[in-house]
Structure formats: structure tokens, C-alpha cells
Structure 1
Amino acid sequence: MKAVGLIVEYNPFHNGHHYHVKTSKLQNDADVVIAVMSGSFLQRGEPALVSKWNRAAMALQGGVDLVIELPYIYSTQHAEHFAAGAVSLLEALRCDTFCFGSENGSIEAFLSKHKQMTEHTEEINESVRGFIKEGNNYPKAISLALEHLGLQQDGDLDLTKPNNILGYQYVRAALESNYRIQPTLINRIAAGYHDTQLPTGTIASATSIRKALLDSDQETNTTESFMPAYTYHDLKNYIQTFEILHQWEHYWSLLQYKLISSTVEELEKIYEVEEGIQHRMKEAALVSNTFAEFIMKVKTKRYTMTRLQRICVHILTHTKKEKMKRCLEEPAYLRILGFTENGRKYLNEKKKSVELPLISKIANVQHEALTFDIQASIIHSLALPQNKQKKMIQREYQQPIIV
């Protein structure tokens, strides 16, 4: 059986995702679609709107055959580690290809950019360091460095666009690790990654859908035309059952307590806390009433909202640098969240050639990196009303594979 892999968050699963699943399978002549999906907290440092189990169920209804959790150690990282972890899991699952969406539309542009970046690694890195010292974040520094060195021409791959940044890192991970898996892409249609307003038509960015869902002045049904019926109904059922869709404001009191009660020395040990940012964060925590207010007080040109949100996730989960570094060096595992009958057949066919351990239930499984996933899920559940938390926490230990 031929498999195409997708690297996803499905926060939530919408019409654009359905198009991605369908087109990737067709374009790659695949028998099986495998999704490596982020768990409770996401790459931009945000809590997922609903649990990973609900999002896995949406994916299976949307045409995905096998859903594997992207571990916390990868899902809450900057693009390089995020991509490297996700592609390594698809390689371990013996996928033939992986497919991502891009505004560029040509895989050759990514291959060419990787060749260029490899040939000029030293001078690019030196230039990037200079632009970072001037206060630019990493993506901006890369763009400025390429322009400064005359390596960015009209029509070249634009590495300031989020999907191109991730796409480049996916391609880089596959090529530099000499994986057998081959990169492919499809054109993104209609909505841009960061679009915040719902457009006309039926394709919208996940960002704009989340904004509409979380806006108290709008009804949930303003988003109905932008997602499959099952996603819409699953979201409504989640709200009816658990009373919320998760967002950062639900965790503000927990984060504020952690920031105020921890010393600067304790915070310095947290992953991604660097350059004394903990001082600025502690000061802002004392005078902020909301998470949004806190972020705006701490945000700088160098420390973007995304970077700060990831730091906040690591503070919330008490993720220390030494443990994260250790886990990133260890072999990973494959935690199955759900599959179709087709996905089950694929696993049975390939299981002898899959070298990483397959996990269906976490009871009696000893893996240090897995403790991050469990802790993240438990903390994610703390946003729920008190009488709903136990049910969600139990799912982490007792939920069978979704079929």
C-alpha cells in the first residue's frame, strides 16, 4: 500500500483541510493518508480549541486513514524542530511521500532554495546573526540576510511566508537526513495562513475560523459554511459537553501564578527562556489583567507573539531545558490516536518494518518524552469547568484508538 503523509494541527478541521487530504491522496496516487497531528498545544504556542481525540475524529471523518500524535517535544517548537520531528515520524511509518500546502506551487523552488542555502551556509549564518543582534526575529533575519547577500531574486521562494518557512524545513529535514520519503506539495487555495477575517466562499484560514468561533459577539454558525458538517457538529457537541472552546485566556490565572511565584533563576531553567526575558515577563504578570494584555506588554520586535506564546506553554507545563534537550536526542515513538479500516490494514502490512514503538495505550509505557504529552493533556483539561476535568483527564489514560 502506498502512503502519503500530512503534517497537521486541524485546529479545527475545515474545508481547506478536506481539500488538502483529498488532493494529496489523488496527486500522490496513494492508497492511504497518514496524518501526524499536534496534540494539546500547538506550534504557534496556543492551546488547541478542542481535545486531540476530537480533532482526530474529525480527521478520520475527513478522509485521513491513520492519525498519529506529534509529541509535545516537537509540536511546540520553532519551525526547524517541528518539521524535523514530524518528517521523522512519517519516515518511520514508511510513507512514500509527504505533501504540504504552499503559496509557491512548485516543489522545485524548495529544492532549489535548499541547494542555495546549503552552498552558502556559513555566510548566511553569519549575516543572520548580525540581523538578529539588530533585534530582528529569525524569519525576518533570514529574509534580510538573503537579500543582503544577493541570494534573493524576484520569483525565488519567499521565506517570510509561514507555509513556505515550514515547507522549506520539511524539505530540509527529508534531504539532510537522507530519508526515502519524498516531498510534494499542493497549491494553497483562497485563504492566507494569517487571514483573520472570514472571506466570501467556503475556504477560510484556521486563524479566521478560530477568531470567529472565539468572538463572543458572533454566533458559531457564522463559520458553518467553512467547515464540513461533522466538524461543525463536533464543535457544537464539545461546547455543549465541556462548555468552552480552549483559548489562552482560560489559562491566564495559572500562568500568572507560575510567573509570579517562580524566581527568575527558576524561570531561567525553562525551555526557550533566554536573554533575561523572564524579568520582563514577571514584571508584566504583576500588572496584567488578561493574557492578551500581558503579551502586548512583553512583545518586542525580537520576541514575537508566537515565540512568547511557546515560552508561556513551556512555563505552564514546567518544561525544563535539560529534559527537553535529552528527549530530543532520544528515539521517538508512534502514538496512534485513530485509524480507519484502511489505516489498520496499512499498519498490519508495515508493522514489521516500522522500527519505532507503536503505542495505543499509555498504561505501562515508559518513555520520558511521553510524560510531556500526558502532562500537556492534563493541563489542557484544566481550562474546563471543575466537574468536567476528570472526564477529560481519564481520556488520556483510557481512550481506546478511535476507529
Structure 2
Amino acid sequence: MKAVGVIVEYNPFHNGHAFHLAEAKKTSGAEIAIAAMSGNFLQRGEPALVSKWTRTEMALAAGVDIVFEIPYQYATQQAEIFANGGVSLLIAAGCDSICFGSEDGNIEAFEETYSFMKKNDGFFQQKVNDHIQKGVSYPRALSLAFTDLFPEDTLVDLTKPNNILGFQYLKAAKKQNPMLNMFTVARKNAAYHDENFSSETIASATSIRKVLFSENQQFDQIQPYLPSSTLELLKEYQLKYGEFHHWDLYWPFLKFKLLQTSPEELRNINEIEEGIENRLLSQVIGADSFTDFINRLKTKRYTRTRLQRVCLNLLTNAKKEEMAVIDDAVPYLRLLGMTDKGREYLNKQKKHFNIPLISKLSSYKGKEIQLDIRSANIYQYGLTKSKPELNHEYKKTPILLTKKGTDQ
């Protein structure tokens, strides 16, 4: 059975994702779609709107056959590490191909850009360092350095968010398995960060979340942009827990953590470097919300995303040694859910997997997974309108979506 892989967050799953998924199967000719999906916390240093289990249900209901969790130490890091983790996972799961969304939508352009960047890597890295020395952020330095190369019109524009991620997927695939088939699908209508609806059926996840977090929340406003299964799961989640996850739920815990931690201790936390620990401690006392805190911290050098990842690592106590990535290879396949077809694939393929397949958490003793467990407990503890479900990870088994419905 041929399998195509997608690297996703589904925060939440919407019609644009459904289009990408359908095109991934069609373009690759695969019978199985496997999603490498971020867990409860995301690459931009944010809590997911709803839990990884609910997002798994959304994915399975919409056509994904298997969902694996990208481990925390990959899912919450900068683009290159995130991409390496996602690609490594899909290779380990036996995927023949990977399909990603991009603003460009032309895989030949990505291939040409990869060759161009490889040829000019020395000059590019020097330019990146030059721009960082001038006080700009790392992502901005990358963008400026790319422009300094005077790229031809036939190359991918690496100043756009999905093109940047797509390029990192291709780069990771070239390094880990050059035989892997890579495909890309152009994003339709809505841009990655669009906060407003500009199409009748396609909207960005950002604009959908904006409605869900607004004071006058109206599910009717987002209905045209979501599969019916996603809409129902969002309603069920809000009914059960009383709220969706966002950073302000975790702000009291983050502030407490900072108020009782020394600069020396902070330096052990992942991504805390260059003296940023002193800025964190000086700004936290006067801040009255998470948004206020980030606005106080933000400079040309430190982007909102970078600062959110720093705060997330503080919240979860993710230390540098825990977040260190070895050989770009994920250490396990954590199964979150599958369809009947996905279960059939796993039964045939799992004997070929070269890393452990985890369906029951208690059966895996590797210390690497402790970050996933800890972050899952913290994620649940942030809910203020319902009782936190601690040790939730040990109680959950992979979701099985059959023709008769969902079995957990």
C-alpha cells in the first residue's frame, strides 16, 4: 500500500486542509495518507486551540488514515528542526512520498531553489550573520540574505512562510532519503496569516481562531470554511471544557515560574541565550497579561514567535539537554489515531519500522517521551472552567475511526 505523508498542525482542520489532503492523494497516487501532526503545543510557541486527540478526530473524519504525533522537541522548535522531525517521522512510517502546501505550488521551482542555495551556501550564511550583527531577528536575516543573493524569478520566494517550511521539508528529505518523492500544492485563496475572510469557502486557521476567540463568537461565521465534522468537534470541545486553549490561560503559571526562578536557572531553559533571561525578569513584574508581556519583550532581534517559544519552554520546563535533537531522527512513532484502512496498513508495515511504534504509553520506557507527557499535563491544567485531566496520556488509547463511528 503506497502512503503519502503530510506534516501538519490542523489548528483547526479546515477546507484548505481538506483540499491539500485530496490533492496529496491524487498527485502521489497513494492509497494511504499519514499525518505527522504537532501535539498540544505548536511550532510558533502556542497552545493548540483544542487537544491533539480532538484534532486527530478532525483529521480522521476528513480523510487522513493514520495520525502520528511529532514529539515536543521537534514540534516546538524553529522551522529547520520542525521539518527534520516531520520528515524523519514520515520516512520511519514507510511513506513513499510527502506532499506539502506552499505559496509557490511548483516542486520544480523548489528543486531549483535547493540547488541554488546549496551552491551559494557560504555566501548566504555570511550574509545571515552580517544581518544578525545589525540587530535583526534570525527569520528576518534569512529573508534579507536570500534577497542579497539576487535570486532569479524561477526560484521560490523564501520570504513567504509556507515556502520557507516547504523548502525545509525538501532540504530534510534530500538529507534523510533522496529517493523520497516530494510534491507541493499551492495554497488556495487565504494566506497563512490572513485574519479576515476573503473567500466563500477557504479561510486561514488564523482567521477561524480569531472568530472563536472573539467576544461575539458565532459558529455560523466559520461554518462555510470547515468540514461539518470539524465544526461539531469544536462545539463538543467547548461544551465539555467551557473554553478553547490560548496563552492567557497559562499566563499565571508562566508569571509565577519567572518570579521564583533565578537568571542562572533560566539559562538552562531551551532557547534562552544572549542575556534574554535578564529581559524576561525585568519585564514580567509590570506585565498584566501574556500579550502585554510579549509586547514588552519584543524587539527587532526577538520576534513574537521566538519569544513565544521561549515562554513555552519556560512553562514546560524544557531544558536545553532535553530539547537536543540527535541525528534529526525521531525516536518513536506515537500513534494517535487511525481508520480501518490505516490499521490494515500498520498491521502489514509495522514489522518493517526501525523505531518503536507506541500505541500504549505504559509499554514504552524511553525517557525521550517524558517531555510529551509533561507538556500534555500542563496543557490540560490550563483549563480553568473544568477539572484538569492529569495523567490523561496514560488513559488514552489511539482513536480508531471505523465505518460504524469512533472507538477510543
**Matches of 1:363 and 1:294 in 2, distance apart?**
38
How far did residue 147 of structure 1 move? 2.6
Normalised TM-score (structure 2): 0.95
In structure 1, the partner of 2:132 is: 132
In structure 2, the partner of 1:4 is: 4
In structure 1, the partner of 2:405 is: none
**Structure 1 residues 12, 330: closer, same or farther in 2, change over 3 A?**
closer
Q: Within 5 A, what are the aligned runs for 1:212-231? A: 212-231=211-230
In structure 2, the partner of 1:45 is: 45
Larger CA deviation: 96-105 vs 194-203:
194-203
**Matches of 1:65 and 1:146 in 2, distance apart?**
38
**Matches of 1:267 and 1:197 in 2, distance apart?**
38
Larger CA deviation: 164-173 vs 138-147:
138-147
Q: Which amino acid aligns with 2:234?
A: L
In structure 2, the partner of 1:298 is: 297
**Matches of 1:18 and 1:136 in 2, distance apart?**
37
Q: Which amino acid aligns with 1:310?
A: R
**Structure 1 residues 141, 387: closer, same or farther in 2, change over 3 A?**
closer
**Matches of 1:145 and 1:386 in 2, distance apart?**
47
Q: Which amino acid aligns with 1:166?
A: L
**Unpaired runs of 5+ in structure 1?**
none
2:379 counterpart of 1:352: no
Q: Which amino acid aligns with 1:193?
A: Y
Describe the SS at the equivalent of 2:351: coil
**Unpaired runs of 5+ in structure 2?**
401-408
Describe the SS at the equivalent of 2:7: strand
Describe the SS at the equivalent of 1:345: helix
User: Is this contact kept in 1: 2:98–2:180, CA < 8 A?
Assistant: yes
Describe the SS at the equivalent of 1:186: strand
In structure 1, the partner of 2:83 is: 83
In structure 2, the partner of 1:373 is: 372
Q: Which amino acid aligns with 2:331?
A: A
**Matches of 2:105 and 2:399 in 1, distance apart?**
34
User: Is this contact kept in 1: 2:190–2:199, CA < 8 A?
Assistant: no
Q: Within 5 A, what are the aligned runs for 1:104-115? A: 104-115=104-115
**Matches of 2:386 and 2:303 in 1, distance apart?**
36
User: Is this contact kept in 2: 1:94–1:181, CA < 8 A?
Assistant: no
2:255 counterpart of 1:256: yes
After superposition, give the CA deviation of every residue in 1:23-65 in whole Å (9 maximum; x if it has no partner): 1111111100000000010001100111110000110000000
In structure 1, the partner of 2:396 is: 399
**Matches of 2:162 and 2:386 in 1, distance apart?**
39
How far did residue 330 of structure 1 move? 6.9
**Structure 1 residues 156, 327: closer, same or farther in 2, change over 3 A?**
closer
**Matches of 1:120 and 1:102 in 2, distance apart?**
23
**Matches of 1:23 and 1:113 in 2, distance apart?**
23
How far did residue 313 of structure 1 move? 0.6
User: Is this contact kept in 2: 1:73–1:328, CA < 8 A?
Assistant: no
How far did residue 394 of structure 1 move? 4.1
User: Is this contact kept in 2: 1:73–1:327, CA < 8 A?
Assistant: no
Describe the SS at the equivalent of 1:190: coil
In structure 2, the partner of 1:322 is: 321
**Matches of 1:343 and 1:200 in 2, distance apart?**
33
Q: Which amino acid aligns with 2:377?
A: I
Describe the SS at the equivalent of 2:388: helix
**Matches of 2:328 and 2:18 in 1, distance apart?**
34
After superposition, give the CA deviation of every residue in 1:374-402 in whole Å (9 maximum; x if it has no partner): 01100000111375212xx3431111110
Moved >3 Å (runs of 4+)? 326-331
Larger CA deviation: 115-124 vs 333-342:
115-124
In structure 2, the partner of 1:310 is: 309
Q: What is the aligned length?
A: 400
**Matches of 2:222 and 2:149 in 1, distance apart?**
44
Larger CA deviation: 211-220 vs 111-120:
211-220
Q: Within 5 A, what are the aligned runs for 1:3-402? A: 3-150=3-150, 152-325=151-324, 332-385=331-384, 387-390=386-389, 393-402=390-399
Q: Which amino acid aligns with 1:143?
A: S
Q: Which amino acid aligns with 1:261?
A: Q
Larger CA deviation: 110-119 vs 32-41:
110-119
> Over aligned residue pairs, what C-alpha RMSD do you find?
1.4
Q: Which amino acid aligns with 1:108?
A: E
